[in-house]
Structure 1
Amino acid sequence: MLSKCSATRLATPPGYKPRNVFTPQNNRLQELPYNELSRLSGLRTLDLHSNLISSEGLPDEAFESLNQLENFYVAHNKLSVAPQFLPRSLRVADLAANEVVEIFPLTFGEKPALRSVYLHNNRLRNTGLPPNTFHGSEAVTTLSLSSNQLRYLPPSLPASLERLHLQNNLISKVPRGALSLQTQLRELYLQHNQLTDSSLDASTFSKLSSLEYLDLSHNQLATVPEGLPATLTILHLGRNCIRHVDAVRLHRARGLRYLLLQHNKLEASALPAGTLRPLRTLHTLHLYGNRLEHVPPALPRHLQALVMPHNRVAALGARDLVSARALAELNLAYNRLASARVHPGAFRRLRALRSLDLAGNQLSRLPEGLPASLRSLRLQRNQLRTLEPEQLAGLNKLRELNLAHNRLRVGDIGPGTWHELQALQVLDLGHNELSFVPPDLPETLEELHLQANRISHVGPEAFLSTPRLRALFLRANRLHMTSITAEAFQGLAHLRVVDTAENPEQVLVPLPPKGKEP
């Protein structure tokens, strides 16, 4: 029953003129007084979302006079079944986040103007969807059935669909021909289901002549599906059981720009030479979390991002990356790379490379031949013991350098090491073995991480070379109240953050007044 407050809100005052929008959302309504709605014959939008309305509280009679209704929002309520008869004028229906177990033929059927239907987060099974659910509704472009209890792809889906959401169900079968009429479908979401190779066949996707985005991640596929359409630009196959990629399966999908194969079971021979070569427009390749022992051979020449951390790559040869000269991002973090097995010319020809991540390997020195185009270099969690000027020579565009969690000491950083880094803004030297602030740091530096070192003293000249410093992290060192010379921070007009927590004694550093910043 309606509370007194709700009833007052819904009451129709004398002389009331019908309006186009009725929105008693975010209340605690339990039922809809259809006798009141009967006076709103010109209503175009009915917004009831986030109430407590049950199916009993939303009788079919409520819609008898709403023959101009276009937008019906009843998400986040307590409906157990959908209304049996919705107006023929309907364009958008949102019944998401209810407890719906059944749809009726005329709930969405015979609605020529219907464009979008949202049924996600309900309790629908296939038995609750009649075969003629969308009969006579030939303009539906968006259908969301995600997070229900469907076990197979529903039949008789609208041929007009452009976006179909079926993720987070129990789908283990796609009946033959279930997608044969959906030639306008551009996005298909089937992730988080129970699909296996036997769930699909060569015709499952082959008729989808407009498909651009296909998400099959978090299933149980052992191979790349057959019959991928030529229009496909994004293929998401992460979190499956794929052990081998057959070049023939990718042959038709030559327009792929993003291929995501992370967290599968790809091993050394999973991507033989030539497998990826037909993908001439491939922009991004995700391979992280597999068992690969080397970089895939013959990478597409226009590839811009290769992401393969958490594999077993132990070596980089001179020509392993030579075919991918357009690479802008290369992530080989948390592999097994050792300095002795990284060829001096491995990165030399990557003249467009902007980001290189080699964190979590076994490198004892910086790689040689780093390209001058680098903006970000991540080398944390290695075994670096020395830094020499020659190793950073030419990196005058580098903005971020992460050397945390290594074994660096100030005495092992050669004089002039930082001189080449004329654009460096962020330097992370945390979790090393530094006993004082390294001298002659780059003038452009804005953020300096020195936490968890062995620093026990900060002298008056510590930051003379870094007048633009904004953030300084000295936490968990060996500082005492008298360890920091007050003059050390004079001239740092931009300084806004100083972290000195977790030292043996509390150390306070006065910050310059904000109004004094140039």
Structure 2
Amino acid sequence: MNPCLLLSIIFLLDFTSGQHERQPVSDEERHLLVLPGSYGTPPSSRLLPRCPEVCRCYSNIALCSSKNIREIPTRSLPRKVAHLFLERNHIESIPAHIFARHRTLTRISFRSNRISDSGINSRSFIGLKKLKRLDLSQNELTRFPSELPDSLSELQLASNNISEIAANLSSNFFNLTSLYLQENNLTDAGIEPGTFRCFTALKNLNLNSNLLTTFPQDLPTSLNYLRIENNQLTSLPNNIFTSPSQVHHVYLRANQLRDESIPFTVWKNMSNLYFVDISQNQLRTIPRGLSPSLRLILLENNLIEVLHWQSFWGLDNLEQIRLSFNRISQISTDVFGHLSKLRYLNLSYNKLVSVPQNLPRNILRLYLQHNIIYTVPIDAFCDVDSYSFVESKLQIIQLNNNPLDSARIPALAFYCLSSMQVLTF
């Protein structure tokens, strides 16, 4: 054997024998080592010798989750730790100055512990001027924490018992871009007027699964994603935003909205609106006044029975329409004809007796399963009156679970479907 190679092997064996004897990196740890939102080369997976006994430390990451610990083990943490995970433990409080020696922290996760309101004080996070992401989800908070670092860009408070957010919060949230408050006990009275005025940079707001019956006021116009699903909303305000907004996704699924509770002016100042979901409500018609910029609309699980010719008037940029699980039995001939950008149309689980006519020629996917369709008009997919042959771009047509009668389907009904990939009866 080459002497140089033998010497290298001996040196390697001697070096590794001096390392901490720890378990191999788990799949969960490998996932955490490539942190969401991080840039550059992923941290090394080599364990560091300086680390609390109950944790594993890699580069600038400390993993202390699921260790049944009751106190934050900061004494032996590496000085330059940036990401600290303390999930699924029994921690009840965050003592003052606990992170005084670890001011490089940019992310801390306390998800699934026992932290209550009294467990956080005005000096719990003092000195953490680089902290960007804080996760306090699945704890025992009843109020919005008032003393948090101004540097935060993401705050997770989901699955607590929070019932109120005061308008006079002590912290300044001018850097916060994402706020997650889903699965709490927020009521209308618990959100004081002007509460969100201090969140001037907020882009993502999640209020899903609370107890709201009216729409929050004074939402920041910086929002991109607004989620208020699975609440008890009975109406929307005349103007959700009183000045031009940057919002492009609005989620209102699973509320108690009716036609008369959505004024025509609701969507005013939403010139960037891209996506709206109003499924699982009590609508009988398509909401009026929607932004012309809209591309995707979801109205599944409502009470819609008829699509009139003006149902989507002015929405020429629509690419997807989802209307499954309604009661639609009548569709005007001109409902979809002007929607030249429409690519996806779902009318499954309704009461249609025939395939809609005058569909856009650029549509790619059509879902009509679970209706009571028994025939296909000769011009449903192909323009038989045209002097020139026009190929349909349809790739998928779902017609299964319908009482189709093959004797009633014209021989030329599908002759132009040269791009067809899936056709089910």
Q: TM-score per shorter chain, which class? A: 0.7 to 0.9
Query: What's the CA shift for 1:319?
Result: 2.0
In 2, distance between residues paired with 1:120 and 1:244? 34
**Do 1:303 and 1:327's aligned partners in 2 also have CA atoms closer than 8 Å?**
yes
CA offsets 1:353-386 (integer angstroms, 9 cap, x no match): 110110xxxxxxxxxxxxxxxxxxxxxxxxxxxx
In 2, distance between residues paired with 1:105 and 1:68? 25
Matched, 1:311 2:378: no
Matched, 1:220 2:277: no
SS in 2 for 1:203: helix
Query: What's the CA shift for 1:296?
Result: 1.1
**Do 1:214 and 1:236's aligned partners in 2 also have CA atoms closer than 8 Å?**
yes
**Do 2:240 and 2:267's aligned partners in 1 also have CA atoms closer than 8 Å?**
no
Query: What's the CA shift for 1:42?
Result: 4.4
Query: What's the CA shift for 1:247?
Result: 2.9
1:98 partner letter:
N
In 1, distance between residues paired with 2:393 and 2:79? 64
| The 10-residue stretch of structure 1 (68-77 or 88-97) with the greater mean CA deviation from structure 2 | 68-77
Matches within 5 A, 1:80-159: 80-105=142-167, 107=169, 110-159=172-221
Matched, 1:12 2:72: no
Matches within 5 A, 1:397-408: none
SS in 1 for 2:260: helix
Decide whether aligned partners of structure 1 residues 108 and 288 sit closer, same or farther in structure 2, where only a CA change above 3 A counts: farther
SS in 1 for 2:134: strand
2:408 partner letter:
R
CA offsets 1:247-305 (integer angstroms, 9 cap, x no match): 324122111011011111111xx211111111111001110111111111111111111
Alignment match, 1:334: 401
**Do 1:186 and 1:210's aligned partners in 2 also have CA atoms closer than 8 Å?**
yes
Alignment match, 1:348: 415
1:73 partner letter:
D
Matches within 5 A, 1:115-514: 115-181=177-243, 183-267=245-329, 270-323=330-383, 325-358=392-425
1:74 partner letter:
L
SS in 2 for 1:6: coil
Decide whether aligned partners of structure 1 residues 62 and 277 sit closer, same or farther in structure 2, where only a CA change above 3 A counts: same
In 1, distance between residues paired with 2:314 and 2:308? 12
Larger RCO: 1 or 2 (CA < 8 Å, sep 6+):
2
SS in 1 for 2:345: strand
Alignment match, 2:22: none
Matched, 1:27 2:96: no
**Do 1:18 and 1:39's aligned partners in 2 also have CA atoms closer than 8 Å?**
no
CA offsets 1:303-360 (integer angstroms, 9 cap, x no match): 11110111111112322221582111111111111121122222122111110110xx
**Do 1:160 and 1:182's aligned partners in 2 also have CA atoms closer than 8 Å?**
no
In 2, distance between residues paired with 1:80 and 1:320? 57
CA offsets 1:464-512 (integer angstroms, 9 cap, x no match): xxxxxxxxxxxxxxxxxxxxxxxxxxxxxxxxxxxxxxxxxxxxxxxxx
In 2, distance between residues paired with 1:64 and 1:9? 15
Decide whether aligned partners of structure 1 residues 109 and 285 sit closer, same or farther in structure 2, where only a CA change above 3 A counts: farther
Identity %: 29
TM-score computed with the length of structure 2 as normaliser: 0.78
Decide whether aligned partners of structure 1 residues 351 and 109 sit closer, same or farther in structure 2, where only a CA change above 3 A counts: farther
| The 10-residue stretch of structure 1 (101-110 or 209-218) with the greater mean CA deviation from structure 2 | 101-110
In 2, distance between residues paired with 1:55 and 1:169? 25
In 1, distance between residues paired with 2:262 and 2:171? 29
**Do 1:63 and 1:86's aligned partners in 2 also have CA atoms closer than 8 Å?**
yes
Alignment match, 2:387: none
In 1, distance between residues paired with 2:327 and 2:398? 19
Query: What's the CA shift for 1:7?
Result: 5.3
Decide whether aligned partners of structure 1 residues 347 and 12 sit closer, same or farther in structure 2, where only a CA change above 3 A counts: same
**Do 1:74 and 1:96's aligned partners in 2 also have CA atoms closer than 8 Å?**
yes
SS in 1 for 2:69: helix
* Unpaired segments ≥5 residues, structure 1: 359-518
**Do 1:52 and 1:77's aligned partners in 2 also have CA atoms closer than 8 Å?**
yes
2:193 partner letter:
P
Decide whether aligned partners of structure 1 residues 109 and 334 sit closer, same or farther in structure 2, where only a CA change above 3 A counts: farther
Structure 1's consecutive aligned runs of 4 or more residues displaced over 6 angstroms after TM superposition are none
Decide whether aligned partners of structure 1 residues 37 and 303 sit closer, same or farther in structure 2, where only a CA change above 3 A counts: same
Query: What's the CA shift for 1:231?
Result: 1.2
In 2, distance between residues paired with 1:245 and 1:317? 18
Query: What's the CA shift for 1:122?
Result: 1.0
In 1, distance between residues paired with 2:372 and 2:68? 65
Query: What's the CA shift for 1:179?
Result: 2.9
Query: What's the CA shift for 1:119?
Result: 0.6
Alignment match, 1:362: none
In 2, distance between residues paired with 1:229 and 1:241? 22
Query: What's the CA shift for 1:246?
Result: 2.9
Alignment match, 1:422: none
**Do 1:180 and 1:204's aligned partners in 2 also have CA atoms closer than 8 Å?**
no
CA offsets 1:178-220 (integer angstroms, 9 cap, x no match): 2343521111100011110111111111321111110000000
Query: What's the CA shift for 1:38?
Result: 4.1
CA offsets 1:402-442 (integer angstroms, 9 cap, x no match): xxxxxxxxxxxxxxxxxxxxxxxxxxxxxxxxxxxxxxxxx
